[in-house]
Amino acid sequence: MAAKLKFEDLQTPLLAQRKGKDDFSLVGVIGLGVMGQGIAETVAGAGIEVMVVEKNDKTLKAGLDSLSKAMDVEIKRWSKTASEKRAVLSRIKTTTNVADLKNCDIIIEAIDENFEAKRQLIEAFYSVGKEDAVFISNTATLNLTKLAEFSKRPERIIGMHFLNPVVSVPLVEIVRAMKTSDETYKLVKRFAQRIGKTPVEVFEYPGFVTTRVILPILNEAMHVLMEGIAKADDIDTALRLGYGMPTGPLEMADTMGLDEVLMWMETLFHELGEPRYRPCPLLRRMVREGKLGKKVKEGFFKYDGDGKRLNGAKP
């Protein structure tokens, strides 16, 4: 005779219900800029289906084209094969409608660092998506707790701060907001490991760990250059060889995007009031002149179409 099913047997915690290979069968990625492209490629590369959302067909096509070209560069460098590229792209579906994320258990937003835009996005998703879905923000500086206030489920809001280039950097910061539940954190930690990243738990504070520590280094390198103490190439060589950095601070800033670096510095200066986050005047000038780094082929250095540095160039 079959054992009688008890009522408490039906009260399995959500985390326990999600064990097994189907945990992350479909992940939504909102925004197909540089970070969104890297996140989509990383998730799809781990064998997970991805649904990418962009605001219109034009930006969607531009993002996909850029992603394809980036993977072609990886193939040239022998870090990816053509068959792996085809497999990754086959797992990425696209849409311009947030409602198409209704079946996703995990959503990662990677849009611009704009509080109001992210707030509206959270509201829009929870009006159509699963109420128990985990909403992950890739914000580097914004207040997750305030963003979570606009969600029906603030305990399901969490941050995942990926570093660029997402595909090759093995680290991700998992940022807990004030109301993020332990269950949500554990699930996202498992997700990070599933896509091949080493997760670091961070409790919300402006700049988290990586952004807060690296920005003053980048800022000081820019001051050294502006004051004529050393040339850009020599500054980067000194930091690379002297401290074992894989990339010098100025080329690192170029890789991040000088407009992004400026925005992060201004945000932390506003939030913390610390002089070390006051943007170097040289950085402001370069952004005004449109010298934004690798994405436009010129920043502190010049680059080819594949992002390879051509030569030292003092701005």
What CATH number should be reported for the domain holding residue 292?
1.10.1040.10
- Is residue 12 over pLDDT 80? no
Residue 9 lies in a domain: no
Residue range 199-216, pLDDT digits in tens: 999 998 888 899 999 999
Q: State the pLDDT at residue 23.
A: 64
Q: What is the pLDDT of residues 72-108, one digit of tens each?
A: 989 998 989 999 999 999 999 999 999 999 999 999 9
Do 45 and 114 lie in a common domain? yes
Per the domain annotation, does 236 fall within a domain? yes
Question: Quick one: pLDDT at residue 19?
Answer: 43
Do 194 and 268 lie in one domain? The reply is: no
**231 located within any domain:** yes
Q: Are residues 188 and 238 in the same domain?
A: no
Per-residue model confidence (pLDDT) at position 35? 92
Residue 279 lies in a domain: yes
Which residue would you say has higher pLDDT here, 189 or 139? Answer: 189
Mean local confidence (pLDDT), 176-196: 96
DSSP code, position 303: E
pLDDT higher than threshold 60 for residue 2: no
DSSP 5: P
Over residues 33-51, mean pLDDT: 95
Residues 215 and 199 reside in one and the same domain: no
What pLDDT is stored for residue 197 in this prediction? Answer: 97
191 and 231 housed in the same domain: no
Assign 315 a pLDDT band (cuts: 50, 70, 90).
Answer: very low
Q: Give the E-state strand segments of the chain in sequence order.
A: 26-30, 49-53, 92-95, 106-109, 134-137, 157-162, 171-176, 198-203, 301-303, 309-312
Residues 178 and 285 in one domain: no
Give residue-wise pLDDT tens across range 43-54: 999 999 999 999
Q: Choose the final residue of a domain: 203, 235, 255.
A: 203
Per-residue tokens: 36 = 């969104």
pLDDT at residue 307 in the model? 81
Assess whether 116 and 246 both reside in one domain. no
Indicate whether 91 and 143 sit together in one domain.
Answer: yes
Who has greater pLDDT, 126 or 236? 236
- Position 16 pLDDT exceeds 50: no
In a domain, 30, yes or no: yes
Same domain? For 54 and 196 the reply is yes
Say if residue 124 is in the same domain as residue 214.
Answer: no
- Residue 11 included in any domain: no
| DSSP 8-state class, residue 198 | E
pLDDT band at 8 (very low <50, low <70, confident <90, very high): very low
**What's this model's pTM, rounded to 2 decimal places?**
0.83
CATH assignment at residue 109: 3.40.50.720
Residues 6+ positions from 187 with CB-CB distance below 8 Å: 15, 18, 23, 134
Rounded to an integer, what distance in angstroms lies between the CA atom of residue 299 and that of residue 311?
11
As a dihedral over the C-alpha atoms of residue 57, residue 59, residue 61, residue 65, rounded to 10 degrees, the angle is 180
Q: How many CA atoms lie within 13 A of 145 on its CB side?
A: 8
* Domain end marker among 168, 203, 238: 203
73 Cβ partners below 8 Å, 6+ apart?
306, 307
- Rg for the chain, CA atoms, rounded: 21
The band of 311, judged by pLDDT with boundaries at 50, 70 and 90, is: low
The DSSP-derived string for 36-104 is HHHHHHHHHHTT-EEEEE-SSHHHHHHHHHHHHHHHHHHHHTTSS-HHHHHHHHHTEEEES-GGGGTT-
pLDDT band, very low/low/confident/very high, at 18 (cuts 50, 70, 90): very low
* pLDDT of residue 166 exceeding 90: yes
CA distance 260 to 251: 14
Average pLDDT, the chain: 89
pLDDT, tens digit (0-9, with 9 covering 90-100), for 123-165: 888 888 888 899 999 987 778 898 888 888 899 999 999 998 8
Total tally of structural domains belonging to the chain: 2
Residues 179 and 250 in one domain: no
Is 266 inside a domain boundary? yes
Asked if 96 contacts 55 with a C-beta cutoff of 8 angstroms, the reply is: yes
Instruction: Give me the mean pLDDT over the 257-279 stretch.
Output: 93
Q: What is the pLDDT, as a whole number, of residue 283?
A: 98
**Which domain does 254 fall in, by range?**
210-312
Tokens matching residue 101: 């994320």
Out of 161, 180, 203, pick the residue that ends a domain.
Answer: 203
Residues 67 and 190 placed together within one structural domain of the fold: yes
> Is 262 within 8 Å of 287 (Cβ atoms)?
yes
Res. 6: pLDDT tops 70: no
User: pLDDT tier at 1 (50, 70, 90 boundaries)?
Assistant: very low
Residue 4 lies in a domain: no
